[in-house]
Structure 1
């Protein structure tokens, strides 16, 4: 075909390989330039059934055009390009769920870090109080029976520890040293009790970790 001599076979091949969304349509010896856009073009995606106007409606754009005069009119060659919509293999719902899960995990992690910070702060406060008021009778780790009569306080749970301090304050608990213990008990509020308990618990946890 004479028309195709204006474009080398190599360049056509390159266009075809570069993208599946590139096509070439043409019209030979068209006489009226004002009607070319509404005239069905041959070749490529036009295939003799679609005009340039129709191709544009389908999302095609003119990337290049070659117009060559002939004895009977003009030859028109259009290089048309259509942008491909990006395809994604990612399930949007799954992606959204993954993001939400990460946010939830981060929230849990932040809460856990905050708990650890509070725990460490309580332990530090409890250590100070314990060493100032308790260590002489109850031992470095709360492991001693004070004066040989009390229970080792490091073996008490928080409820037992709290009730013991309360009962010392009320005068309803006495294992033989209530008069010695009561002034210390009266000086401790609920936060002090929890802090000392946390400190003793932290010592036990460190011992377990070493084992």
Structure 2
């Protein structure tokens, strides 16, 4: 169902919901000639409006049931008021509201997908980190490997990507580049992103939240 069809269907459904039904009754009424002018009980009649009053207000008799009672007759009316036609302005407002809700739903779904993707990346990154990085960089990426590198937990994704690139090209060396180069050769950009997603779980919450919004 495309958006235009969905909106048209929503407008139709909303119009249908505008139709009202109520049940009014009168017990032990003795004169059939006066029943239409006698205030009815129950429903929207509420002992103040007669059948004639309800008809003036746009109500139609959908069904009627008459039963003999001890002191006269019992009258039960099912009244229905047809849906009011939406004005062009009402339709425009309703369409805008529907579009707004669709947009809000789209944003929520995108946020959910993004969160699920980050969780999956973090899981994959955890496996890679434990296997390839943890022994040198620490359980929570807090160590300076061999006393020379920066703690990975302090780096941004861009920092990590540039470092891996420079190790691969031989442009970065603090004395231990020969150790990192083999890792740089097997870690693809996706792997680096996954590892970084896992390392982010060790960052301060505020810092991690700020990076997620970027």
Tell me if both proteins adopt one fold, taking TM over 0.5 as the criterion: yes
**Shift of residue 208 of structure 1?**
7.3
Q: CA deviation at 1:12?
A: 4.4
Asked whether 1:18 is paired with 2:51, we answer yes
What residue number does 1:129 align with? Answer: 128
Is 2:162 the counterpart of 1:163?
Answer: yes
Query: For the Cα contact (< 8 Å) 1:21–1:84, is it kept in 2?
Result: no
1:1-211 matches, cutoff 5 A: 10-14=34-38, 17-20=50-53, 22=55, 85-87=82-84, 91-204=90-203
CA distance in 2 between counterparts of 1:184 and 1:88 reads 70
1:104-144, CA deviations, whole angstroms, 9 ceiling, x for partnerless residues? 11111111111111111111111100000100110111111
After TM superposition, the score normalised by the length of structure 2 is: 0.59
Q: Which has the larger radius of gyration?
A: 1
Structure 1 residue ranges, 4+ long, deviating more than 6 angstroms after superposition? none
Measured in 2, the distance between the counterparts of 1:200 and 1:135 equals 11
8 A Cα contact 2:37 2:52, kept in partner = no
Hey, what's the Cα distance between the residues in 2 that align with 1:100 and 1:119? 28
Q: What is the CA deviation profile of residues 35-68 of structure 1, one whole-angstrom value per residue up to 9, with x for unaligned ones? A: xxxxxxxxxxxxxxxxxxxxxxxxx9xxxxxxxx
TM-score (normalizing by structure 1): 0.60
8 Å CA contact 1:168, 1:185 repeated in 2: yes
| Structure 1: unaligned runs, 5 residues or longer | 1-6, 24-59, 61-82
Instruction: Provide structure 2 residue ranges, at least 5 long, that are not aligned to the other structure.
Output: 1-30, 40-48, 61-79, 209-214
